[in-house]
């Protein structure tokens, strides 16, 4: 065999080999929808930035859907494969007798993520101070508002009788409405609360997360059919999230904030770091993806007090899958 024929044959063999390798390394595409863009979801962004999804053979396309109802609509219509959203939305869907309901399979945050911000300094703050005040809350039926009302009642305040509660402002417009309006208190996420403090427009005086206890506040969920058909994909996804949860647990606030900066370009590193410290100090980030039954029952209590819990039972075993998370942790 002459050299030309030899090299031609070798080139063909090489191309076939490379093609086979390329097919072997193909990644599974996942459409992931988050209910909003929030520093509260730090482990999710860490999984993206540290390449944990890629290590699991996943190519994750993250999109912000802006709103729990829109996120669930996207999930149920197959516009996204996995949703990061408050677990209460799975209860609402289940109550509508959905044939292919949403199932919670990996918990991301385990406390409420909002803080009570006052327009004036309150060095000796007491929850009693809120009585007869003008309070700008979150959307009715959403987790922030339900937890807010739960905490107020826990501290002896009827949110609909003891203060002037406003719930008619869109989530994105709440900070500006507080600054420009005559509201005395507002319920805000980070880093918005820290930014408002820096600008002298508000003062963070209490944490709803510390007051309300452990909750499945934001959870990754997928349709029941997806978890049955693509269980291996769900395992890989959960494995990446678990790696990120451990990484967040083991690293300091500034290092985490530095990696998250591309997701919050309008917020400086100092603000991101202080916000991250607040969340880490109150153990807001779940250290593993298991949603346990005690947290689920706490969620149902919060919803019940807010008058949002459906009359029919919302069974933990139907709406929560812990097998995937348990398998990942046991590996």
Q: Give the other-Cβ count within 10 Å of 254's Cβ.
A: 14
Measured CA to CA, the distance from residue 39 to residue 41 in angstroms comes to 5
The string of pLDDT tens digits covering residues 221-249 is 999 999 999 999 999 999 999 999 999 99
CATH architecture of 27-111+215-330: 3-Layer(aba) Sandwich (3.40)
Pair 195, 117: CB distance under 8 Å: no
Q: Where in the chain is the domain with CATH 3.40.190.10?
A: 27-111+215-330, 114-212
- CATH of 114-212 given 3.90.340.10, 3.30.1490.20, 3.40.50.300, 3.40.190.10: 3.40.190.10
Quote the pLDDT of residue 4: 47
Quote the pLDDT of residue 7: 46
Q: Is 176 helix (H, G, I), strand (E, B) or coil?
A: helix
Measured CA to CA, the distance from residue 238 to residue 58 in angstroms comes to 11
- Radius of gyration in angstroms for the set of CA atoms belonging to the chain, rounded to a whole number: 23
The string of pLDDT tens digits covering residues 13-35 is 444 444 444 445 689 999 999 99
Pair 90, 299: CB distance under 8 Å: no
- Reported as half-sphere exposure (CB side, CA atoms, 13 A), residue 181 has a value of 16
Pair 209, 117: CB distance under 8 Å: no
Quote the pLDDT of residue 2: 53
How far out from the chain centre does Cα 30 lie?
Answer: 17
Strands of the sheet containing 164-166, edge to edge, are: 164-166, 134-136, 185-189, 114-118, 203-207
**Under-70 pLDDT residues of the chain:** 1-25
* CA distances from residue 187 to 27, 151, 193, 315 in whole angstroms, order as listed: 41, 12, 9, 30
Measured CA to CA, the distance from residue 143 to residue 285 in angstroms comes to 16
Quote the pLDDT of residue 20: 47
Quote the pLDDT of residue 97: 86
Quote the pLDDT of residue 9: 45
- Reported as half-sphere exposure (CB side, CA atoms, 13 A), residue 64 has a value of 9
Q: Is 109 helix (H, G, I), strand (E, B) or coil?
A: strand
Pair 253, 284: CB distance under 8 Å: no
Between vectors from CA 70 to CA 59 and to CA 238, what angle results, nearest 5°?
35
Measured CA to CA, the distance from residue 227 to residue 90 in angstroms comes to 15
Quote the pLDDT of residue 173: 93
Quote the pLDDT of residue 171: 85
Q: Determine whether 61 is exposed, middle or buried from the number of CB atoms within 10 Å of its CB (0-12, 13-18, 19+).
A: exposed
């Amino acid at each position: 065999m002459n050299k030309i024929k030899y090299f031609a044959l070798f080139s063909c063999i090489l191309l076939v080999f490379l093609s086979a390798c390329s097919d072997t390394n193909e990644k599974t595409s996942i459409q992931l929808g988050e209910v909003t863009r929030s520093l509260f979801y730090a482990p999710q962004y860490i999984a993206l930035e540290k390449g944990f999804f890629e290590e699991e053979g996943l190519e994750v396309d993250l999109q912000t859907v802006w709103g729990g109802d829109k996120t669930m609509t996207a999930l149920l219509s197959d516009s996204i494969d996995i949703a990061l959203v408050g677990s209460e939305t799975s209860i609402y869907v289940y109550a509508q007798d959905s044939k292919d309901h949403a199932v919670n399979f990996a918990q991301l945050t385990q406390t409420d993520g909002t803080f009570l911000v006052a327009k004036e300094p309150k060095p000796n703050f007491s929850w009693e101070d809120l009585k007869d005040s003008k309070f700008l809350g979150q959307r009715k039926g959403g987790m922030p508002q339900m937890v807010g009302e739960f905490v107020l009642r826990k501290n002896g305040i009827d949110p609909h009788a003891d203060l002037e509660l406003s719930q008619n402002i869109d989530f994105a417009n709440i900070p500006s409405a507080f600054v420009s309006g005559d509201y005395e208190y507002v319920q805000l996420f980070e880093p918005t609360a820290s930014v408002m403090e820096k600008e002298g427009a508000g003062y963070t005086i209490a944490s709803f997360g510390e007051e309300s206890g452990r909750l499945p506040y934001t959870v990754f969920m997928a349709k029941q059919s997806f978890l049955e058909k693509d269980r291996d994909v769900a395992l890989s996804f959960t494995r990446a999230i678990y790696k990120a949860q451990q990484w967040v647990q083991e690293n300091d606030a500034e290092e985490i904030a530095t990696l998250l900066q591309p997701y919050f370009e309008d917020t400086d590193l100092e603000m991101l770091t202080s916000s991250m410290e607040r969340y880490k100090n109150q153990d807001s980030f779940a250290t593993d993806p298991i949603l346990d039954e005690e947290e689920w029952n706490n969620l149902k209590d919060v919803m019940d007090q807010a008058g949002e819990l459906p009359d029919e039972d919302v069974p933990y075993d139907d709406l929560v899958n812990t097998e995937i998370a348990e398998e990942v942790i046991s590996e």
